[in-house]
């Protein structure tokens, strides 16, 4: 029975494809011809597809756990000595499995939409699920035709597998790709809503309200996914860096940036009925960037640390998929986007205007990163050679543009819709601005006694965000007049959507603090240390007290025991390692970390210099945790916004929805 | 009607992008003629990477009044450039084969540049430190890595844009070096 598992997996994939094809076509025709029975196909097909993909995934996991090395993918990415939890995470450790995970997550989102959005008008739901069916059909065809994870190595079955890439044998890898894909793929929902609205010719505020929670949720997942990737790179790669502007990192950042613009633009369209075409275009743009990211990673057209096996046939297939999906959706946009210009005007300092600026800046940032990422590819295809565009380019543009964005971010939450006199806005913010300037000028000189312009500017921006939010919060809960409810009652009345915004912006401020502190105040020293020798870095004393060899489940390791005496506190021990993975014959550095909210201690073991003497890289990384803490706060904001009660209300009758009176609240 | 055409703009931009991506898929990196070919190597006055007090200029490449200099491979690199890391073994091979190499650490910091050479090996006879990218600008480089073959009179004879592959070592660089010796 167990010998049949891979065949059952292939069979499940084929069943899922068949259902995806029905889901993609029948409900769409049904919606066009108003046939309820045809439209009703959408939901069961989505459920069936999800069930079969989940089965396929379980079958692949079973092949790994049973060490079935007759399956090529298992043989290439596992080894009988690999611990069971890494066997499980190896399911998505390489190309075939991660595309399967992609497809599974897509069907999971379709399933969720078919359950939680079942009260949508029937034709809307049918169209949304049909669009998701298109994407799913494309990816399942891709898996079956070019990347079937169940392909067998018969009759010459290898005795053991090649093992999973040691870099990926880590907790971070177990959760990073699923989180990232939840985000990437989650943007397919808002994409499907936008297209369904275009096709149905109902481009009013309603679709945006239905799509908003899904978009926020996808954005929150993507935020966590990116943060996990950065955290993983930090402790696993052994360089102590947290962002490298690597093409694959950029591939995840691009949809995040566009998605951030989209979240804001959806809010404007829902509340004010303006920016309609823009929002639709942005929804298409965001998901297109997710697909482009998938293409860049899967096709191997760009040089990257994330080197996946590349096969030109796969690249061509994904490019065709990308071309059809994005080309078709942009064609539909060009043909169906409403001609009307949004009539309602707004003032210069209104929230509308500030959100427009936010969108423009975010799109400029996205395009900047996109150009930097694709530039080597463009040069290459014009016969101008292979090249890396590195951090000098990205930092020179990304940092000032983000700083500018922060300036407007501080203003946005305090401005009113439609009209906002500049003078009143100034009055509301004067105190926050002054406090931010004073604190930002003083604090850096208190920290280590080194005043630094970069830190000052970064702190200024972070404080500007936090203090203007604080000003807004205090203003909102202040009793307006005699007998109005007290502060506590007012505080409890604030909506989850408001708290979501607050946390989202606060998270950005926290991340900024992390970025400027770790970029400017990190200390790093490469030292040479022998047994019982001591060295001092940044006030900490490091002594190598012991050196051992030990055997892990699938590796041999040299472990140093380093006693660390921090200034004025108790000593502790760190165990940096140099591992040698036997099956793949790869050496790996296992960093010893002492994390702390305000500072990380980072010790990586280098090579043996002479007998007994080892090179060590010691780094002190102040506030590095804040980078990821900020991202978690942002993501929490995204999730909180989804909990807002008005999204859970059953959809009002259609007539009421189009005029949406409460949308102006 | 005009407005409708405007809505087609995103589609057109995307179409152009797809053409590029398609070419990128099937493309093989290849060298390109440089505008700087047959020009004298631009003047510079830069410190070396390992020693801030040691400054070098163009005479490094041109030899003295009565003697000809060596044919040199000038390689522009940076710690921030992942492709450069992959290029280092090829440069090491060239150095082992007796090629005179001069490095230009382009838009980098001194610490990172030195650390890079420590980690990946140092095939260069000498490395110039070009933190502002001024020499890179005069050479007309787009980024890193790029390499120039400079003959004994200090004239640029060959420009290799991008990464020198293991095949390039035998098939391109060494024959080109021999040509100008």
Chain A positions touching B82 (Cβ under 8 A) are: 244, 246, 303-305, 388, 390
Min Cα separation A334/chain B (Å): 5
Report the chain B residue with the minimal C-alpha distance to residue A526. B115
**Contact A544/A565 with Cβ under 8 angstroms?**
no
How many domains would you assign to chain A?
2
What's the pLDDT score for residue A111? 96
Phi/psi for A284 (5° steps) reads -65, -45
Q: Which of B7, B32, B78 sits opposite A384 (nearest CB)?
A: B32
Which stretches of chain A score pLDDT less than 50? 304-309, 651-665
Q: Which of B32, B81, B82 sits opposite A385 (nearest CB)?
A: B32
Among A102, A131, A165, where does a domain finish? A165
- Predicted ipTM of the assembly: 0.78
Domain ranges, residue A559: 523-624
Chain B positions touching A315 (Cβ under 8 A) are: 25
- Rounded to 5, what percent of chain A is helix, strand, coil? 65, 10, 25
Chain B positions touching A391 (Cβ under 8 A) are: 80
As assigned by CATH, the class of the B29-179 domain is alpha beta
What's the pLDDT score for residue A581? 80
d(CA A590, CA A606): 10
B161:A303 CB<8 A: no
Chain B positions touching A389 (Cβ under 8 A) are: 143
Query: Tokens 């565009």 map to which residue?
Result: A389
SS3 at position A541? strand
Query: Tokens 């962002």 map to which residue?
Result: A243
pLDDT one-digit tens code per residue, B83-94: 788 888 889 989
Spell out which chain B residues touch chain A, with contact meaning CB-CB distance below 8 angstroms: 3-4, 7-8, 10-11, 14-15, 17-18, 20-27, 29-32, 78, 80-84, 86, 107, 115, 118, 133, 142-146, 160-163
B18:A322 CB<8 A: yes
Q: Which of A319, A389, A390 sits opposite B18 (nearest CB)?
A: A319
B161:A386 CB<8 A: yes
Report the chain B residue with the minimal C-alpha distance to residue A384. B32
What's the pLDDT score for residue A656? 36
What's the pLDDT score for residue A655? 36
Phi/psi for A34 (5° steps) reads 55, 50
pLDDT band at B176 (very low <50, low <70, confident <90, very high): confident
**Contact A662/A647 with Cβ under 8 angstroms?**
no
pLDDT one-digit tens code per residue, B102-132: 999 988 888 888 888 988 889 998 999 988 7
Cα A210 to Cα A193, A197, A216: the distances in Å are 8, 11, 11
Domain ranges of chain B: 29-179
B161:A385 CB<8 A: yes
A386:B162 CB<8 A: yes
Q: Is residue A345 part of a domain?
A: no
Closest-CA residue to A17 (of A88, A120, A100, A115): A100
The strand pairing partners of B161, in sequence order, are B146
If you count residue pairs, one on A and one on B, with CB atoms under 8 Å apart, how many are there?
Answer: 118
Estimate to the nearest angstrom the gap between the alpha carbon of A75 and the chain centroid. 30
pLDDT one-digit tens code per residue, A524-554: 888 888 888 888 887 888 898 888 888 888 8
For A542-595, the DSSP string reads EEEEEEEEEE-SSEEEEEEEEEEE-TTS--EEE--EEEEETTTTEEEEE-EEE-
What's the pLDDT score for residue B134? 80
Query: Which secondary-structure segment (H or E) carries A488?
Result: helix A487-493
Q: CB neighbours (10 Å) of residue A375?
A: 16
Chain B positions touching A374 (Cβ under 8 A) are: 17, 20
Chain A positions touching B163 (Cβ under 8 A) are: 303, 386
Percentage, residues of chain A above pLDDT 70:
91
Min Cα separation A385/chain B (Å): 5
A303:B7 CB<8 A: no
What's the pLDDT score for residue A149? 94
**Contact A230/A198 with Cβ under 8 angstroms?**
no
* Exposure string for B97-126, b = 16+ CB within 10 A, e = fewer: eebbbbbbbbbbeeeebbbbbeebebbbeb
Report the chain A residue with the minimal C-alpha distance to residue B8. A334
């Amino acid at each position: 029975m167990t010998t049949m598992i891979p065949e059952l997996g292939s069979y499940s994939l084929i069943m899922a494809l068949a259902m995806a094809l029905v889901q993609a076509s029948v409900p769409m025709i049904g919606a066009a011809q108003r046939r309820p029975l045809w439209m009703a196909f959408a939901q069961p097909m989505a459920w069936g597809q999800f069930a079969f993909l989940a089965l396929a995934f379980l079958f692949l996991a079973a092949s790994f756990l049973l060490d079935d090395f007759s399956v090529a993918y298992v043989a290439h990415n596992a080894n009988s000595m690999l611990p069971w939890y890494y066997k499980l995470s190896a399911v998505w450790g390489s190309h075939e499995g991660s595309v399967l995970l992609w497809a599974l997550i897509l069907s999971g989102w379709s399933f969720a939409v078919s359950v939680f959005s079942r009260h949508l008008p029937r034709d809307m739901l049918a169209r949304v699920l049909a669009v998701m069916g298109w994407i799913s059909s494309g990816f399942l065809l891709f898996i079956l035709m070019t990347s079937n994870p169940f392909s067998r190595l018969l009759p010459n079955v290898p005795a053991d597998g090649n093992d999973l890439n040691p870099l990926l044998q880590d907790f971070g890898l177990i959760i990073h790709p699923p989180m990232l894909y939840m985000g990437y793929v989650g943007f397919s929902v808002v994409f499907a809503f936008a297209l369904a609205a275009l096709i149905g010719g109902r481009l009013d505020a309603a679709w945006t309200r239905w799509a908003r929670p899904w978009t926020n949720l996808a954005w929150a997942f993507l935020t966590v996914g990116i943060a996990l990737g950065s955290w993983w790179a930090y402790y696993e790669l052994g360089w102590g860096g947290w962002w490298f502007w690597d093409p694959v990192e950029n591939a995840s950042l691009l949809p995040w940036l566009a998605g951030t613009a989209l979240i804001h633009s959806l809010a404007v369209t829902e509340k004010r009925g303006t920016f309609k075409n823009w929002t639709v275009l942005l929804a298409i743009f965001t998901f297109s960037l997710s697909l482009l990211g998938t293409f860049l990673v899967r096709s191997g057209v760009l040089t990257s640390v994330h080197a996946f096996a590349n096969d030109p046939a796969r690249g061509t297939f994904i490019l065709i998929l990308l071309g059809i999906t994005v080309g078709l959706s942009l064609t539909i946009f060009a043909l169906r986007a409403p001609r009307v210009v949004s009539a309602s005007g707004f003032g210069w300092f209104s929230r509308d205007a500030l959100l427009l600026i936010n969108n423009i800046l975010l799109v400029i940032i996205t395009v900047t990163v996109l150009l930097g990422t694709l530039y080597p590819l463009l040069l290459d295809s014009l016969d101008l050679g292979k090249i890396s565009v590195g951090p000098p380019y990205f930092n020179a543009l990304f940092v000032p543009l983000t700083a500018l964005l922060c300036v407007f971010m501080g203003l946005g939450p305090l401005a009113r819709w439609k009209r906002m006199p500049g003078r009143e806005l100034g009055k509301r913010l004067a105190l926050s601005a002054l406090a931010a300037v004073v604190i930002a000028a003083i604090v850096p000189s208190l920290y280590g006694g080194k005043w630094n312009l970069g830190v000052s500017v970064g702190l200024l921006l972070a404080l500007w965000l936090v203090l203007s939010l604080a000003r807004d919060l205090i203003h909102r809960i202040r009793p307006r007049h005699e007998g109005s409810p007290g502060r506590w009652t007012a505080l409890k009345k604030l909506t989850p959507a408001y708290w979501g915004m607050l946390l989202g912006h606060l998270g950005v401020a926290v991340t900024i603090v992390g970025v400027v502190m770790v970029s400017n105040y990190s200390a790093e020293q490469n030292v040479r240390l022998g047994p019982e020798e001591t060295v001092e870095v940044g006030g900490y004393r490091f002594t190598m007290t012991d050196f051992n060899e030990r055997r892990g489940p699938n590796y041999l390791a040299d472990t140093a025991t380093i006693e660390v005496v921090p200034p004025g506190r108790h000593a502790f021990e760190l165990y940096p390692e140099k591992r040698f993975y036997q099956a793949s014959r790869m050496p790996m550095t296992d960093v010893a970390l002492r994390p702390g909210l305000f500072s990380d201690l980072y010790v990586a073991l280098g090579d043996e210099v002479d007998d007994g003497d080892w090179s060590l890289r010691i780094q002190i990384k102040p506030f590095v945790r804040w980078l990821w803490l900020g991202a978690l706060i942002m993501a929490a904001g995204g999730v909180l916004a989804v909990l807002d009660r008005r999204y859970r209300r059953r959809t009002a009758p259609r007539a009421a929805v189009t005029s949406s009176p409460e949308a102006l609240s | 009607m005009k407005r409708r055409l405007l809505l087609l703009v995103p589609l057109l931009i995307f179409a152009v992008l797809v053409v590029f991506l398609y070419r990128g898929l099937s493309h093989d990196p290849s060298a390109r003629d440089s505008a700087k070919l047959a020009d004298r190597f631009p003047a510079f006055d830069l410190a070396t990477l390992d020693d801030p007090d040691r400054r070098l200029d163009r005479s490094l490449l041109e030899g003295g009044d009565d003697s000809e200099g060596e044919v040199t491979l000038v390689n522009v690199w940076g710690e921030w450039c992942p492709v450069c890391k992959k290029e280092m073994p090829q440069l090491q091979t060239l150095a082992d084969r007796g090629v005179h190499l001069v490095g230009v650490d382009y838009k980098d910091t001194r610490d990172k540049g030195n650390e890079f050479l420590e980690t990946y090996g140092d095939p260069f006879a000498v490395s110039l430190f070009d933190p502002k990218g001024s020499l890179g600008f005069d050479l007309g480089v787009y980024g890193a890595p790029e390499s120039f073959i400079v003959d004994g009179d200090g004239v640029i004879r060959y420009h290799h844009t991008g990464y020198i592959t293991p095949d390039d070592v035998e098939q391109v660089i060494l024959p080109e070096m021999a040509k100008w010796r």
